Amino acid sequence: MARWAALVVAATTFLAVPSVAGASSDLQTFRHYMYDVGLPDFLAARAGASPTDLDWSSDGCSTPLPVGLGDTGRSYNFRAACQHHDFGYRNARAFGVWNSTERLHIDDRFYADMKANCAPRPWTQRATCLAWAKTYYTAVRVAGGP
């Protein structure tokens, strides 16, 4: 009986290892798409929802303000940046790494994505675009979580 119990414990331990390794791999994949790849590569992966074990959903640039600002305006289009930001918040929570440090990194990436959207705009729109980027960044820093 003791031998049988030892065999069950050994088998259970062996079977649990791949799921733990998979979770670690999934966390690495999340961080790769959050921090290592550019926005175009992120959007391509999101379009295919691949890998499928990540949360690719987004509600765009939602805002707690009574007047929704939306994710596009005359001088900016932050839709892709908001999708990337939502990806970061949702997956950080899902993987249990949601804390003030991770949130800061995700918010900083959001700001960088928005500024990248502003960079190629005509000089007549660039300052306004950057001002909106700062406004959105400030809003998520104030109201985004821990």
Confidence check: pLDDT of 84 > 80? yes
The residues spanned by each domain of the chain are 32-48+68-146
> Residue 80 is which amino acid?
A
- Domain at 32-48+68-146: CATH code: 1.20.90.10
Q: Residue 136: is it exposed, middle or buried by C-beta count within 10 angstroms (0-12/13-18/19+)?
A: buried
pLDDT of residue 146: 66
What percentage of the chain exceeds 90 in pLDDT? 62
Least Cα distance to 104 among 117, 119, 85 occurs for: 85
Q: Name the pLDDT band for 99 (thresholds 50, 70, 90).
A: very high
- Range of lowest pLDDT (12-21, 40-49, 72-81): 12-21
pTM: 0.79
Q: Name the pLDDT band for 23 (thresholds 50, 70, 90).
A: low
Contact call for residues 113 and 40 (beta carbons, < 8 A): no
CA distances from 20 to 7, 15, 23, 44, 117 (A): 20, 10, 5, 28, 38
Interior angle at CA 139, CA 38 and CA 127, nearest 5: 65
Better-scored residue on pLDDT, 75 or 104 = 104
